[in-house]
Amino acid sequence: MGLDLLVPKGDFRDTGTYDVPVPSGCIGWYFLGGTLAASIRNHAPLGKSATVAGSPTVNDNYLGLVSQNSYIDTGIIGPASGGTYIVVGRAFGDGTTQAQRFSHIGKSGGGATGAFFQSIGPSSVEFVSYHNDGAGGGRNENDEHLNQLHRVVLAGCGFRQQWTNFPQQDYWSERHDCGEQRCIRS
């Protein structure tokens, strides 16, 4: 006696499902931009969609997010044992203001902890990490073109609390220990 399983034919691309190249341990995989619905879709295996807080502005190629006002809440609990966070995109504008930062995750305010990547002028970008004692460690990447494609990798981070949203700041509310924080131009 056998058991037949019938799977309806269909084009999985129509569902927006993406073939994640490194699925092992992947808990969040998002393409930001286009539509809000597409932006909050989590393509990670078994991943749940993010939820929207406030009113992010949707652009063809990115989302406009504002800390504590308009952001996407991934609902992902940061792994205490360490994880990896990767952002790929292009910086633009003068990132000296928060509204123009490429990526910012972490805890703001007193005892700020986290990292951000921003453009600081017409030809420079800056990657800055900071720690729960408020001491920052900046790293300048000079003579880069803002329109270059960048990737930002935070690896080996132990996130003790819920990692509630990104790429805008907010919040793992306790300290983290990042073994590696770097940006790479391409």
**Segment interacting with other proteins, rule: CB under 8 A, options 6-14, 79-87, 121-129, 132-140:** 79-87
- Quick one: which of 36, 49, 68, 151 contacts other proteins (CB under 8 A)? 151
User: Quick check: 59 binds other proteins (CB under 8 A)?
Assistant: yes
Please choose, out of 1-9, 99-107, 122-130, 131-139, the segment that lies near other proteins by the rule CB under 8 A.
99-107
Q: Which of 28, 164, 181 is nearest to 115 (CA)?
A: 181
Omega before 167 within 30 of 0, i.e. cis: yes
Strands (E), 131-169: 136-141, 149-157, 162-165
Choices 2-10, 100-108, 121-129, 130-138 (CB under 8 A): range interacting with other proteins: 100-108
Residue 130 binds other proteins, judged by CB under 8 A: no
Residue with tokens 């590696």: 180
Closest by CA to 106, choosing from 165, 53, 51, is: 165
User: Cβ of residue 184: shortest distance to other proteins, in angstroms?
Assistant: 8
**What 3-state class would DSSP assign to 53?**
strand
Q: Which residue in the set 16, 37, 134, 149 belongs to the binding site for other proteins (CB under 8 A)?
A: 149
Residue 128 touching other proteins (CB under 8 A): no
Taking the complex as a whole, the smallest distance from the CB of residue 136 to other proteins amounts, in Å, to: 18
Q: What is the C-alpha separation between 63 and 74, in angstroms, rounded?
A: 14
Q: Is-contact 165 73, C-beta < 8 A?
A: yes
Interface pick for other proteins out of 36, 52, 58, 153 (rule CB under 8 A): 153
Instruction: State the burial class of residue 112 (Cβ atoms within 10 Å of its Cβ: 0-12, 13-18, 19+).
Output: middle
Q: Does 37 bind other proteins (CB under 8 A)?
A: no
Chain residues that interact with other proteins, rule: CB under 8 A: 18, 21-22, 24-34, 44, 59-67, 74, 76, 79, 81-93, 98-104, 149, 151, 153, 155-156, 163, 166-169, 179, 184, 186
